[in-house]
């Protein structure tokens, strides 16, 4: 489900129910996620107050007085805030029960998501990550520097979290379409000016998607159950065979690093 806009929408949705409130306990029904949920999670979080709900890359960081809970939604993860004693359904793997009675519930059919404990608010998974795409540290010059000499396709490099975080399969294709760059082009064979356009396109696509609450393709919904409306703005993603919104040429689908990639063969070079 989630790229940066969906994770950010989730963060904003869950924050009010958490910040300033104490966690009563953690209920783990299915510890077998991407990595095992720590067996002693409840002991770490019970009785602690939530100071803040942050995000780094696609990780949600629930910051407590002592340590943080890290959550990742993987492909199919969904977080909702529910009333006390809400009925448990299939794939409801974990609850954080707040002292208010409300539940923060993780639902994740494919179990590619993760729930981890970071004692010092930091975690090895967060080291070595590239800049946030909506921060000042991300621009064309950064991309240019990081892609210099690389033969890998620019779309694959855009999705490499060591170069820039948060850009997943949907928004990588969309940003490259807006920048007019062929997703198969080698990263090292793109001019500085075109990297400027690409960085701007990444920012624009992601911030527009955040404004619209993300993209609902199949099962994604925000914590309040609302879908994301950015799907209506998608120019190429899952539009193979349909006319390009700019020139009418049929959109193509190819594979890059085993992931579907969509582009207009006329507008993108």
Residues near DNA (CB under 7 A) are 1-3, 6, 34, 57-58, 72, 74-76, 90-91, 109-112, 125, 149-153, 156, 159, 161, 168-170, 214-220, 228, 257-260
Query: Taking the complex as a whole, how short is the minimal distance between the CB of residue 179 and DNA, in angstroms?
Result: 19
Beta partners for residue 67, in sequence order: none
Q: What is the CA radius of gyration of the chain?
A: 20
Concerning whether 3 is annotated as a catalytic residue, the answer is yes
Concerning whether 2 is annotated as a catalytic residue, the answer is yes
Of the residues 11, 58, 78, 252, only one is catalytic, namely 58
Concerning whether 155 is annotated as a catalytic residue, the answer is no
Nearer to DNA, 24 or 59 (CB): 59
Query: Taking the complex as a whole, how short is the minimal distance between the CB of residue 130 and DNA, in angstroms?
Result: 11
Nearer to DNA, 85 or 151 (CB): 151
Q: Which of 178, 186, 189, 181 is nearest to 236 (CA)?
A: 178
Query: Taking the complex as a whole, how short is the minimal distance between the CB of residue 12 and DNA, in angstroms?
Result: 15
- Whether residue 104 contacts residue 98, with contact meaning beta carbons closer than 8 Å, is answered with yes
- Whether residue 198 contacts residue 143, with contact meaning beta carbons closer than 8 Å, is answered with yes
Of the residues 12, 56, 203, 259, only one is catalytic, namely 259
Distance CA 215, CA 233 (A): 9
Structure tokens at 77: 């993860």
Nearer to DNA, 177 or 220 (CB): 220
Distance CA 177, CA 172 (A): 9
Nearer to DNA, 3 or 95 (CB): 3
- Whether residue 179 contacts residue 194, with contact meaning beta carbons closer than 8 Å, is answered with yes
- Whether residue 34 contacts residue 197, with contact meaning beta carbons closer than 8 Å, is answered with no
Structure tokens at 217: 């393709």
Q: What is the DSSP letter of 174?
A: H
Beta partners for residue 60, in sequence order: 55, 71
Concerning whether 124 is annotated as a catalytic residue, the answer is no
Query: Taking the complex as a whole, how short is the minimal distance between the CB of residue 256 and DNA, in angstroms?
Result: 8
The overall longest dimension of the chain from CA atoms, in Å, is: 59
Nearer to DNA, 43 or 110 (CB): 110
Query: Taking the complex as a whole, how short is the minimal distance between the CB of residue 101 and DNA, in angstroms?
Result: 28
What is the set of active-site residues? Answer: 2-3, 58, 259
């Amino acid at each position: 489900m989630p790229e940066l806009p969906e994770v950010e929408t989730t963060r904003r949705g869950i924050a009010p129910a958490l910040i300033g409130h104490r966690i009563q306990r953690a209920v783990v029904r299915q510890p077998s996620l991407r990595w095992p949920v720590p067996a002693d999670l409840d002991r770490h979080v019970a009785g602690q107050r939530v100071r803040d709900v942050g995000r780094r890359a696609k990780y949600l960081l629930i910051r407590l007085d002592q340590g943080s809970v890290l959550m990742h939604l993987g492909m199919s993860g969904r977080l909702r805030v529910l009333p006390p004693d809400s009925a448990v359904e299939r794939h409801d793997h974990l609850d954080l029960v707040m002292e208010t009675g409300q539940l923060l519930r993780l639902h994740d059919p494919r179990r590619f998501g993760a729930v981890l404990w970071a004692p010092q608010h930091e975690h090895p998974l967060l080291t070595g990550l590239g800049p946030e795409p909506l921060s000042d540290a991300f621009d064309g010059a950064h991309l240019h520097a990081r892609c210099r000499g690389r033969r890998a396709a620019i779309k694959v490099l855009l999705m490499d979290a060591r170069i820039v975080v948060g850009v997943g399969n949907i928004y990588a294709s969309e940003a490259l379409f807006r920048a007019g760059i062929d997703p198969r082009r080698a990263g090292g064979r793109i001019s500085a000016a075109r990297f400027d356009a690409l960085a701007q396109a990444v920012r624009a696509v992601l911030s527009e998607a955040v404004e619209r609450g993300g993209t609902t393709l199949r099962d994604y919904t925000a914590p309040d159950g609302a879908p994301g409306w950015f799907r209506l703005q998608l120019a190429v993603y899952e539009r193979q065979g349909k006319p390009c919104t700019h020139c009418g040429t049929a959109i193509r689908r190819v594979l890059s690093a085993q992931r579907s990639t969509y582009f207009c063969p006329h507008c993108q070079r």
